[in-house]
Amino acid sequence: MSEPTEAEAEPLDPARVREILTRGELTVRGRVTRASNAVLLCDAALDGRSLACVHKSVAGERPLWDFPDGNLARREVAAYEVCRAMGWDFVPLTVLREGPWGEAMTQLWIETSEDGGGLLALQDGEEPEEGWKAIGLAEVEEDRTALLVHRDDPRLRLLSVLDAVINNADRKGGHLLPTPEGRLHAIDHGVTFHTDNKLRTLLWGWAGEPFPAEAAEALTLLAKALDGPLTTALTPLLTEAEITALRTRVATLRATGVHPEPSDEWPAIPWPPV
């Protein structure tokens, strides 16, 4: 991406960002070749203002046998709407729009920290060092393993709650976007909202522990939103059964008050994990 001009560097309110991403003319700047689906890096330009964004068209999606309903683009938008209803901004502003290749998800581009934020690490030994949570053993070279860990970071802890809510089946390390300003964003929410329990994530460090107060409050906000405008927003994006399952997960999380634990019926950690 090219460096923004002085005018482009001025902050915009979310409504204006949404308008540019939804209505702006798209110019393709490149493609993320490592992605399993077609992911384009674009500029969206409207009325003299341009924003860098990620554009994923439905036409470029690879069909998934276990997600036969709807499409990944709409699930990504649904994840943004749910996150916003919880009062959080982990998911960058995401819209559904028509693009050059038909219906697509367009998401605000996030500039990340050059050092990756230090959220994941490999450590020797069988127990994590202070300030870290264990994920599992990883083979780093022939006949040598190391402990893969994530930070005991309150931002990651809240994100793990969001993942439980949306039933995220693919929370990898590469989906975590820490910014130079100290914020944390998360991307790639296409395989979410399944009616079956499919939670697969790196963020199991708090499994079985009570939710922090901020998470409990966010779940209360979400439950109220599902009785009103949020369900209206989700209806074009998800099936009725998926919205019902979302309500059930939220009610269960509020009733138990603890971080869910991994199931022994399927791999709990995505592959590759990063």
Q: What is the Cα–Cα distance from 134 to 14, expressed in whole angstroms? A: 37
Residue 6 has pLDDT above 70, yes or no: no
Q: What is the Cα–Cα distance from 90 to 271, expressed in whole angstroms? A: 22
**In the chain, what are the domain boundaries?**
6-108
Whether domain 6-108 has CATH 1.10.3470: the reply is no
Residue 220 has pLDDT above 70, yes or no: yes
User: CB count, 10 Å around CB of 233?
Assistant: 18
* Residue 210 per-residue DSSP state: B
Residue 244 has pLDDT above 90, yes or no: yes
pLDDT given at position 2: 47
pTM for this prediction: 0.91
Q: What are the tens digits of pLDDT across the range 118-152?
A: 899 999 888 999 999 998 887 777 777 889 999 99
Q: What is the Cα–Cα distance from 200 to 257, expressed in whole angstroms? A: 20
Q: How far is CA 253 from CA 68, 204, 230, 248, 257, in A?
A: 26, 15, 18, 9, 6
